[in-house]
Amino acid sequence: MSKKNLSSLEKKIVKILESYPDASIPIPILLDALSLSSKKGQKKLKQAINRLKQLDILRVSKGNLVRLNELAVKEDPTLTGELDVTQRGDGYVIVEGRDQDIKIPSRQMDTGLDGDIVSVKITGYHKKTGQAIGKIDKIVKRARTKFVGTLTEEAKNTYIIKPDQQSSRVDFFVSPDDLNGAKAGQKVSFSLINWDDVRGYPQAKIDNILGEAGSNEANILSILAEKQFEASFPAEVEDYSEKIPDTISEKEIARRNDMRDEVVLTIDPPDAQDFDDGLSIKVLNNGHYYLGVHIADVTHYMPRGSVLDEEAYNRGTSVYLVDRVVPMLPERLSNGVCSLRPNEDKLAYSCFMEIAPNGTVVDHKIEETVIHSRQRFAYDDVQDILDGKRNHPFENQLKTLQTLANILLDKRFREGSIKFETPEPRFILDDNGKPVDVIVKERKFAHKLIEECMLLANKTVARHVDDLRSNNKSKSDHPFLYRVHGEPDLEKLNNIKETAKPLGIDFNLNGKITASKINDLLSKVEDTSIENIINGLMLRSMSKAEYSPKNIGHFGLGFKDYAHFTSPIRRYPDVIVHRLLKRYTSGSASYTYDQLIESGEHCSERERYAVEAERDSVKLKQVEYLSDKLGETFKGTISGVTENGLYVILDDIYCEGMIRVSDLGDDYYIFNPQLHCLTGRSKGKKYRLGDSVHAKVTRTDMGKRQIDLVPADF
């Protein structure tokens, strides 16, 4: 960019913008920066900006925001970022540090696929919005090479895979040699072999046959494959697990704290098999509580670097779908050898905490133990005992746990935890996996009792390592894997504020964002029609919790120190935490800080994929359930309003569908984004966020997992 013919004011403007190349600067801020406060100065600035705009040196977008034109500033305006592909086939490249994504028209996508890291060249800007438009120059890194789709035979020995919409934007060619036994009409998982030329099909090979397209088994296995999970374990991993002894040697018992004479209880869902945790409780002579949280000692059976360990690491987590669990460990370990089953001797890693009546942990110890669970409780059983509906020999222990849990719960919320309560649907399935009924899960105090004990143990082990560090001159000797959670997104919080404002609810965002401000809003909407909506929006505004050796605390819980210790059967980060704790006791295993960064990023990603798979399985069953209810009407609540229509949650089954604006046939409706409503131009009828409506199910799409509704109240 030549500056020879620019005026001194124009050069100053360019210099300021060059200092912030990725920012859009409001004109009033430029006025202040250039000390142009008079009307004459404002006129000069306007003239200078207009000239720079004509020279294509800068551009002005909506809201009088000024920024440099990257095409004029850079000889080779190539940027690198992650490609996000829309259902329409267009893409957006997300570049770190830029305040706006770069739009990629479908014809400029080259061989880019969703999630790929790509380099992109900016080719222009949208006239109205000022958004950068570009084309993909190179694929830097493929995000994935495994996909899901349905095999078709277009002509004799000419096979094409039509991928699921969630999987890829293009069809794939398969050579007959790469069919792996698959036949047309079957759902398959497959790998990308090569795609160098956008003018041809990408070439693939089939990895697994998932079942006949449209069947329940194929649908569920497709969800797993989309998120890169395998239901079965490699043969060498199964062989390894089969050789693990299911008895405990006397030598191993002798070196541990023998807790087999103590009362240890487990409390889990009624259909659980993988019992990660047990509890023991007593009241000491000084009035303090002595809580033992006993966790399955997975690391004893899973040496670091073994084939079993590598498979567990690759999976990262168990996946809990509607109709099955895909475990992180083979079933022989997850449901057998490691599981803290009742009336069996089991190896555990235990956190013992002495807790004052105000909920403060005054002393603790963490040690390897051997336990013998006396009772396996389901949540409903515990709740009945706590409510006095039945008697039980361990009633005193449960009542003591109840008292302690109440103390811990009150203390946690006083000190900064956010009170989230979101309903979850639970399906009743027939023998073929078909949903015959759906109910909203009831969250009872028995759930909270377990939750508070686990939270306290997780918090205590993280503080334990911090104490070790403070007593050690070289803090690098004790790297640790924390569960961290940053502050929420301010822009999303402002959107929630604007959402609540038309309903007469104020959300105070002045000053520092605190849990108390968020809890204040959640209490204001409690028992209102928008309670679940605001809770859901608030959850989505939160930063994603992650695993990292860099301890930034946990905003949602209000904890300065927090780690995952209590579920090593189903979460690999807990395995790492166990190894680190044991290493600091005996020197048996270690991780470097860099290894923990890498492991934390991997486990965080696997967790996100698992959560997405779980949600997809719920949505699939909701769509399947309503597929038999076409034409039926349900009472619902408007959960979202857009210019395209209304999102409605059907109250009794907590299932969301959409009423398209074209199906609001009694009027022409105009969208008001500030008031979150659609208003009929002629009759003035309003559809607002939180309003109750009656909606009729008109169409379902299992492939897209979509539910179409129409209003049934006019």
The verdict on 207 and 250 lying in the same domain is: no
Residue with tokens 């034409």: 631
Same domain? For 327 and 476 the reply is yes
Q: Determine, yes or no, domain membership for 679.
A: yes
The mean pLDDT values, 10 residues at a time, for the chain of 714 residues are 69 82 78 79 85 80 76 62 86 83 90 92 77 89 89 92 81 94 94 89 93 89 91 95 95 96 95 92 97 98 96 97 94 96 97 98 97 96 95 96 97 91 85 88 91 98 88 69 91 80 79 85 82 81 92 94 97 97 79 95 96 94 93 92 92 89 91 87 90 94 90 75
DSSP 338: S
Q: Which residue, chain included where needed, has tokens 């079957």?
A: 186
Q: What is the CATH number of the domain that holds 113?
A: 2.40.50.140
Cβ(584)–Cβ(466) below 8 Å: no
Contact between 537 and 471 under an 8 Å Cβ cutoff? The reply is no
CATH number of the domain where residue 162 is located: 2.40.50.700
Question: Rounded to two decimals, what is the model's pTM?
Answer: 0.83
Geometric angle at alpha carbon 579, from 576 and 584, rounded to 5°: 130
Nearest Cα to Cα of residue 166 among 205, 121, 113: 113
Under DSSP, the state recorded for 332 is I
Number of domains the chain contains: 5
Q: What is the CA radius of gyration of the chain?
A: 29
Parallel, antiparallel, or unpaired: how do β-strands 655-660 and 706-711 relate?
parallel
Is the same domain home to 641 and 563? no
Residues 67 and 90 in one domain: no
Contact between 124 and 133 under an 8 Å Cβ cutoff? The reply is yes
- 183 in the same domain as 137: no
Q: Letter for the amino acid at 566? A: T
404 domain residue, yes or no: yes
Please list, in sequence order, all residues whose beta carbon lies within 8 angstroms of the beta carbon of residue 12, skipping any fewer than 6 positions away.
34
Domain stop point among 175, 202, 226 = 226
pLDDT at position 239 is 97
**Are residues 246 and 210 part of one domain?**
no
The reply to whether 542 falls in a domain is no
Residue 530 lies in a domain: no
Q: How far is CA 355 from CA 284, 352, 455, 708, 714, in A?
A: 10, 10, 14, 53, 60
641: its two tokens: 């309003």
From residue 708, alpha-carbon distances to 640, 657, 692 in Å are 14, 6, 17
- What pLDDT shows up at residue 355? 98
- Among the candidates 95, 111, 141, a domain finishes at 141
Classify residue 545: in a domain, yes or no. Answer: no
Same domain, 60 and 88: no
**2 in a domain, yes or no?**
no
pLDDT, position 579: 96
How far is residue 533's CA from residue 536's CA, in Å, rounded to a whole number? 5
Other C-beta atoms within 10 Å of 32: how many?
10
CB neighbours of 199 closer than 8 A, spacing ≥ 6?
A: none
Residue 51 is assigned to a structural domain of this protein: yes
- Give yes or no: residues 311 and 242 share one domain: yes
Q: H or E stretch including 655?
A: strand 655-660
CA distances from 571 to 120, 283, 414, 604, 607 (A): 37, 32, 29, 10, 9
Here the tokens at position 513 are: 């964002």
Each as own residue / partner, the long-range contacts of residues 358-362 (CB below 8 Å, 24 or more positions apart, any chain) are 358/407, 358/411, 359/407, 359/408, 359/410, 359/411, 360/411, 361/456, 361/460, 361/463, 362/288
- Residues 416, 269, single domain; the answer is yes
Contacts of 556-559 with C-beta under 8 Å, sequence gap 24+, read: 556/417, 556/418, 556/420, 556/485, 556/515, 557/412, 557/416, 557/417, 557/418, 557/455, 557/485, 558/412, 558/415, 558/416, 558/417, 558/418, 558/515, 559/459, 559/462
Domain that holds residue 663: 629-711
In this structure, the answer to whether residues 325 and 365 fall within a common structural domain is: yes
The pLDDT of residue 4: 55
- Structural domain includes residue 623: no
Structure tokens at 226: 């989309």
Are 66 and 81 found together in one domain? no
Q: Is 409 found in the same domain as 320?
A: yes
Q: Residue 149 and residue 112: Cα distance in Å, rounded?
A: 18
Structure tokens at 514: 């605190």
CATH number, domain containing residue 19: 1.10.10.10
Q: Which amino acid is at 362?
A: V
Query: SS3 for 387?
Result: coil
CA distance 27 to 42: 10
- Residues 368, 298 contacting (CB under 8 angstroms): no
